[in-house]
Structure 1
Amino acid sequence: MGLLSLSCCLLAIFLSLSPALSTNSEGNALHALRTRLSDPNNVLQSWDPTLVNPCTWFHITCDSNNHVIRLDLGNSNVSGTLGPELGQLKHLKYLELYMSSLSGEIPKELGNLKKLVSLDMYGNKLEGQIPKAFAKLKSLRFLRLNNNKLTGPIPRELTALSDLKVFDVSNNDLCGTIPVDGPFASFHMESFENNRLNGPELQGLVPYDFGC
């Protein structure tokens, strides 16, 4: 009976600590991001990895369970690259990284953020292709990647994002044709301008990636 009581006690302790463990994991992911960034305006000064969780940090919003649900570094003038650690923020709903000087490729691990509603990365210097893994973001409603240096085609997999309401990839260097299936049927052509795109696909024909 003593052993059973001890086991129950240990289980209770573990369950009570599990939210803290989770937020520590999120804090570790954010600190890993911090180490990648140059921060001339010192907007990340409160990102102290020795704190219990990141919910007290500026530009971070948490829910009632201390899970990070919003990361907002818009207009912060940070520079540097994004890494796979962002994919560990499993509860994130809003990722706001617009109008800064971020460069490099968009991590495919962002496709792990299944609860993401809004992804704004416009106005940076991001390169490479739009990750096909974004097709896993079934809750996504806003995807703005305009005014970067992105290349390659628009992934056809994104046509499966039935909740997507706003999509903007204008002012990049994308090529190929514009999808017309799923939510793409309702997006204005301004969302695609100033690329090397060749107009919308024709219904029923296999897409051809001109110039890709």
Structure 2
Amino acid sequence: MASRVALVSFLLLLAAAPAMSTNYEGEALQALRARLSDPSNALQSWNPSLVNPCTWFHVTCDVRNRVIRLDLGNSNISGPLAPELGRLQDLQYLELYGNNFEGKIPEELGNLKSLISMDLYGNRLEGEIPKSFAKLKSLRFLRLNNNKLSGSIPRELVTLSNLKVFDVSNNDLCGTIPIDGPFATFPIQSFGNNSRLNGPELQGPVPYDFGC
């Protein structure tokens, strides 16, 4: 009888206890780590058993223990980017420059609605610039230079009214350069060394980009 009472009491305590929420930010970062080669052990402190990733090196959190900054610049890391990074809804700074990230830029990065700066320059990223970046309304700095990106510059990016710096130089982009919105202020050097990229588009309907 006593054991039955104890069991019932234990079950009631479990029912009353708040459900533990999954650490989705830590899981998103672990998904990135699982894809990467890290010969310099830059990610050695990324311990999945911790309550949250706020004590990990290269990760900064706010007072609510939400990840707001990921700094992995010049860390000798290689491999593809994880689409799970798009779950970091409070991320403001994504600094992944000067590594050997490869493959396509995940469309899911367009879900980082709080992002202020995205620095992916100096890697081996390929494919097109995601049109989903047009959803990054807080974005001020977007540096994608010195990669292997192809395709045209998405015209959807002209809606990014807060964008102050845009650099896609030293890629393999094609088509024409938008002239609307913030693109009216970017220097020509921001587009340099793209052999198939033509000059600014003309006023009127957007022309078809032959060979793009």
TM-score (norm 1): 0.90
* Alignment-mate amino acid for residue 199 of structure 1: G
Mapping for residues 31-110 of structure 1, pairs under 5 Å: 31-110=30-109
| CA deviation after TM superposition for structure 1 residue 162, in Å | 0.3
Q: Secondary structure at the match of 1:13?
A: coil
Larger Rg: 2
- The runs of 5 or more residues in structure 2 that have no matched partner are 1-11
Larger helix percent: 1
Q: Per the alignment, in what secondary structure is the counterpart of residue 148 of structure 2?
A: coil
Paired with 1:197 and 1:180, the residues of 2 have a C-alpha distance of 14
- Paired letter, 1:101: N
For residues 109-124 of structure 1, what are the structure 2 equivalents within 5 Å? 109-124=108-123
Match of 2:170 in 1: 171
Q: Name 1:13's counterpart in structure 2.
A: 18
**C-alpha distance in 2, partners of 1:90/1:205?**
36
CA distance in 2, matches of 1:30, 1:168: 26
Give the residue type in structure 2 aligned to 1:13.
P
In the TM superposition, residue 206 of structure 1 has moved relative to its aligned partner by 2.0
SS at match of 2:79: strand
For 1:91-120, what per-residue CA distance to the aligned partner results, in whole angstroms no more than 9, with x for missing partners? 100000000000000000000000000000
Shift in Å, 1:202: 1.4
For 2:70, give the aligned amino acid.
L
Deviates more, 1:82-91 or 1:138-147: 82-91
Report the equivalent of 2:5: none
Give the number of equivalent residue pairs.
198
Q: Secondary structure at the match of 1:126?
A: strand
Q: Counterparts of 1:83 and 1:30 in 2: how far apart (Å)?
A: 8
After TM superposition, give the deviation of residue 84 of structure 1 in Å. 1.1
User: For 1:61, what is the secondary structure of its paired residue?
Assistant: strand
Instruction: Output the CA distance in 2 between the equivalents of 1:28 and 1:178.
Output: 38
Measure, in 2, the Cα distance between the counterparts of 1:137 and 1:110.
Answer: 9
Cα deviation code 1:33-65 (max 9, x no counterpart): 000010011010000101110000000000000
Deviation at 1:83, TM superposition (A): 1.7
What CA RMSD, in Å, does the superposition of the two structures yield over aligned residues? 1.4
Structure 1: unaligned runs, 5 residues or longer: 1-5
1:205 is displaced (CA, Å) by 3.5
What are the Cα deviations for residues 5-45 of structure 1, in whole angstroms up to 9, with x where unaligned? x9xx94x835xx6xxx36x1100000110000100110100
Deviation (angstroms), 1:76: 0.4
Runs of 4+ in 1 over 4 A off after TM superposition: none
- Residues 146-188 of structure 1, C-alpha deviation per residue, up to 9 Å, x if partnerless? 0000000000000000000000000000000000000000000
Aligned to 2:18, the other structure's residue is in SS state: helix
